[in-house]
Amino acid sequence: MTDVRPPVGLVDSGKGSNPIPAGGVAPEAEFDVPSGLPAGTPTPRAGDARLARLSLNQRTTANWNLREAIDGTVAAGLSSIGLWREPIAEVGLATAVGWIEASGLRVSTICRGGFFTTADPVERRNAHDENLRALDEAAALGAPTLVLVPGGLPEGSKDLVGARSRAAEAVAALALEAKARGVVLGIEPMNPIFAADRGVVSTLAQALDIAEQFAADEVGVVVDTFHLWWEPGVEQQIARAGAGERIVSYQVCDWITPLPADTLLSRGMMGDGHIDFPAFTRAVATAGYTGDIEVEIFNAEVWAAPGAEVLATLARRYATLVHPHL
Amino acid sequence: MTDVRPPVGLVDSGKGSNPIPAGGVAPEAEFDVPSGLPAGTPTPRAGDARLARLSLNQRTTANWNLREAIDGTVAAGLSSIGLWREPIAEVGLATAVGWIEASGLRVSTICRGGFFTTADPVERRNAHDENLRALDEAAALGAPTLVLVPGGLPEGSKDLVGARSRAAEAVAALALEAKARGVVLGIEPMNPIFAADRGVVSTLAQALDIAEQFAADEVGVVVDTFHLWWEPGVEQQIARAGAGERIVSYQVCDWITPLPADTLLSRGMMGDGHIDFPAFTRAVATAGYTGDIEVEIFNAEVWAAPGAEVLATLARRYATLVHPHL
């Protein structure tokens, strides 16, 4: 990491504070992305025990293909990665499996299955079959969890109760299929900002109401700070999830305001927004979760930054805001 | 309403369907705003019994001052209006009271009090005093309810639990003050999209948990479709609110996607989005609510349209989507 520098246009040089010492270029100068602010702490490097559970969700470095994401994750000293199906499909499953095995990385999750709120019988069957393929991929890659994003209201429908009911039915149809493959389904409750068009399961309480209809080695829940930070009583729901051994993934990123114009890309780097990561993380740790912790950030500015700088920033933020509270 | 015409730029004349008949201008042609689509039903006019409970929340016609809003509401045949404090302040409370009394309109709510999540003692006192002034105004205008928007996280704070706790404390400090003035405090739970920067009370269940600590003639809840449509179990919460006679206002507007870039202005005209108004309205009616029903739409396109056309559209949409289900 000798080429770390502030992203163009993101550092306010008008404040009179020049991050470059008078003596010349400081080789250790590092800057957070996307804020452009000087790094508040040294970057944890390969071998640093604090990185043991940190996982890069591949969408955080959306401009990297699978090869680059694997290499970047290894280079940053992480031992885990959360993979998305589209970049796997680009190279083919067998190649992806080979690369992952050669890399030594764990696959923390496969993102994503779900999208099963349709009322149309043919579409339901297609969605089910697609989820079976996703489960096959998760099993082949050794991922313990397939993340399920339920999907939004079907086109033209305003029946949210019905869509939620069908999502639960679709989970039921997949539960034993998942277990047979050694994969646990992870229902991801999503911020209500996405209730209409992306995910009709809106709270951890609601996700647990579904998951608890099945065995814990069949269906669990994904605990994502962005989606759940606002939920009244979320600490109690996290405890409930932990008591039932239902937490299959802990994902972190921040809620920033003002929201970017494209709300799908409104996630921020931990520390750049309003979420209390120490308190949230303590709740997850107290609930007994010992798995990997993914950083998943959909954000145009993050995507525009060099992947290595994104990884360095998220490792620093994780080391200060998350790891001490595990 | 002889000057109704499609708003400039909103009607797609490229589709080959000219709304003006070949014989000349059709005096009855009406178009919805902001969609620009032909009206699906005749506009209810003054004297139409369906308008008896319909109230214009003044922010829906944000470009109208108080005088224009009163005149426009009367002209549209409504008998109720929800007032905001800023336009009242522009003319002074005494003038506003005189205008309202002369108009014969009911004032359904005063918007808005609240903004009391601060931890700073001086700011807390100031917020309390400001809410007392708002209560005085509500009493003077004969409004049964002061709508309380709790406010977001204080600047730099990430303590959402603390902010919620302070909001409840602030309500407690105001409860008897409201009762003494014959005004009921209406806690407005807000869509979690606003949890960080506008309203830390995020669900109807949470608002009721606060309200039920007080008498029903002191503290109630505002039921707003935009804020609550996604809430799991919202029908049960509406029933709970009704059983305790806690519903002090029913406000309607739609959730539209994609969300406009400014999420504060992301509310849509009823029928333009994803909310099931018949089902939601039946729940409110079944819960026993018999008060006024406000249309409150923050939307740049609505604000850019002539107020009379906005009122005509909302009256039509109310007549088809809300009124039949009361």
Chain A nearest-CA distance from B155, in A, is 10
Contacts of B261 in chain A (CB under 8 A): 261
- Name the packing angle between helices B93-103 and B66-75 (round to 10°): 10
Confidence at A124, pLDDT banded by 50, 70, 90: very high
Has residue A14 been placed in a domain? no
Has residue B21 been placed in a domain? no
On whether any CB of chain A is under 8 Å from the CB of B275, the answer is yes
Has residue A8 been placed in a domain? no
Contacts of A275 in chain B (CB under 8 A): 158
Summarize pLDDT for A173-207 with one digit per residue, the tens. Answer: 999 999 999 999 999 999 999 999 999 999 999 99
What domain range includes position A54?
49-325
Has residue B167 been placed in a domain? yes
Query: Could you say which of B203, B205, B274 has the minimum Cβ distance to residue A196?
Result: B274
Q: What is the rounded distance in angstroms from the CA atom of residue A152 to the CA atom of residue A133? A: 21
**B45 φψ region: left (φ > 0), alpha (ψ -120 to 50), beta (else):** beta
Q: What is the CATH number of the domain that holds A318?
A: 3.20.20.150
Interface contact B193-A197, CB threshold 8 A: no
A131, two tokens:
């989820």
Contacts of A197 in chain B (CB under 8 A): 257-258
Chain A nearest-CA distance from B281, in A, is 14
Chain B nearest-CA distance from A187, in A, is 15
pLDDT confidence of residue B243? 98
Poorest-pLDDT segment among A11-15, A250-254, B36-40, B179-183: A11-15
This complex has an ipTM of 0.90
Contacts of B279 in chain A (CB under 8 A): 158
Q: What is the pTM of this model?
A: 0.91
On whether any CB of chain B is under 8 Å from the CB of A164, the answer is yes
Residues of B numbered 179-238 whose beta carbons fall under 8 angstroms of chain A's beta carbons: which are they? 191-193, 195-197, 202-203, 205-206, 229-232
Write down the residue that tokens 């029913």 correspond to.
Answer: B250
Q: Which residues pair with A251 in a beta bridge?
A: A224, A294
Has residue B240 been placed in a domain? yes
Q: What is the rounded distance in angstroms from the CA atom of residue A173 to the CA atom of residue A185? A: 11
Q: What is the rounded distance in angstroms from the CA atom of residue A215 to the CA atom of residue A322? A: 29
Contact B7, B34 (CB under 8 A): yes
Q: What is the rounded distance in angstroms from the CA atom of residue A82 to the CA atom of residue A76? A: 15
Chain A nearest-CA distance from B206, in A, is 7
A41, two tokens:
């702490």
Q: What is the rounded distance in angstroms from the CA atom of residue B143 to the CA atom of residue B137? A: 8
Interface contact A197-B276, CB threshold 8 A: no
pLDDT confidence of residue A28? 62
Among A117, A257, A272, pick the best mutation site for testing chain B contact (most B Cβ within 10 A): A257
Interface contact B192-A191, CB threshold 8 A: yes
- For chain B, percent of residues with pLDDT exceeding 70: 91
The β-bridge relationship of strands A80-84 and A106-114 is parallel
**A124 φψ region: left (φ > 0), alpha (ψ -120 to 50), beta (else):** alpha
Query: Could you say which of A160, A164, A263 has the minimum Cβ distance to residue B259?
Result: A263
Summarize pLDDT for B56-112 with one digit per residue, the tens. Answer: 999 999 999 999 999 999 999 999 999 999 999 999 999 999 999 999 999 999 999
Summarize pLDDT for A44-98 with one digit per residue, the tens. Answer: 999 999 999 999 999 999 999 999 999 999 999 999 999 999 999 999 999 999 9
Number of domains in chain B: 1
Q: Where are the alpha helices (DSSP H) in chain A?
A: 66-75, 85-91, 93-103, 121-140, 160-180, 204-211, 225-228, 234-243, 277-286, 300-304, 307-317
Cα four-point dihedral sign B97, B89, B267, B281: negative
Query: Could you say which of B160, B229, B275 has the minimum Cβ distance to residue A276?
Result: B160
Write down the residue that tokens 């704070």 correspond to.
Answer: B157
Cα four-point dihedral sign B34, B36, B42, B43: positive
Q: What is the rounded distance in angstroms from the CA atom of residue B52 to the CA atom of residue B50? A: 6
Has residue A35 been placed in a domain? no
Among B197, B206, B259, pick the best mutation site for testing chain A contact (most A Cβ within 10 A): B259
Q: What is the rounded distance in angstroms from the CA atom of residue A226 to the CA atom of residue A270? A: 10
On whether any CB of chain A is under 8 Å from the CB of B15, the answer is no
pLDDT confidence of residue B155? 95
Has residue B15 been placed in a domain? no
Has residue B235 been placed in a domain? yes
Separation in Å, CA A77 to CA A297, B264, B276: 19, 41, 50
- What is the overall mean pLDDT for chain B? 92
The helix/strand count (H/E) of chain B reads as: 11, 10
pLDDT higher than threshold 60 for residue A10? no
CA of B271: which chain A residue's CA is closest?
A158
